[in-house]
Amino acid sequence: MGLRIGDTAPNFEIDTTEGKINFHDWAKGSWVFFFSHPADYTPVCTTEMGRTAQLAEQFAARNVKPLGLSTDSVEEHKGWMNDVNETQNTTVGFPIVADKDKKVAELYEMIHPGESTTAAVRSVFIIDPNQKIRLTMTYPMSVGRNFAEILRVIDALQTGDKHGVATPADWELGGDVIIPPSVSMEEAEKKFPQGFKTVKPYLRYTSVK
């Protein structure tokens, strides 16, 4: 049975570029952007590691800790990070899991035999401060991730949690949100005194801050 949205993210203890971590202890109280790579010293991965580092302030503003994973050693990771910093004009400041025996990759089902039996595909797990998996994405090994989308879905999840709302297609921070159908009209009037627009009984838009 695969990991599903709402499951508790499995715990693990492992070496990283910033020392050994117990994942649950390290993540406690924060959101986590956990993302895997097929291997060190590969071009697409290099750009993704660099982009994550460049967005450090954006992640921090959202109380998000990035955590990378590749199935190579700490020493290989550290050498690769020198290349990332040089080529992407940044400084990597987050840990990268050294998953040489693929323990974590298999625990999180990042090995897809149809793609590779030895390397992790580009998996994304967004994990909340209660250590629940809130979103997953899986990319093939040759396709780089869209970081604007990663930040967008984190904003959407955090906005939904804060206000008890859903977000429409292509929603971006500051846009109108949707009142869930489970909220009655009477409840909506109390919960959203700023008002809302009813398009259909099941489709009601409002704004939140």
Catalytic residues: 45
CA pair distance 70, 77, nearest whole angstrom? 8
The distance in angstroms from the start CA to the end CA of the chain is 39
Asked if 22 and 29 touch (Cβ cutoff 8 Å), the reply is no
Please tell me the distance from the alpha carbon of residue 59 to that of residue 129, in angstroms, as a whole number.
14
Tokens 């709302």 label which residue? 165
Contact of 167 with 177, CB cutoff 8 Å: yes
203-206 β-sheet, strand order:
177-179, 203-206, 197-200
Task: Quote the CA–CA distance of 121 and 108 in Å, as a whole number.
Answer: 11
Measured at the alpha carbon of residue 90, what is the angle toward residues 19 and 52, in degrees to the nearest 5? 65
DSSP 94: S
Between CA 106 and CA 94 the distance in angstroms is 22
H helix or E strand, kind and range, residue 85: helix 74-88
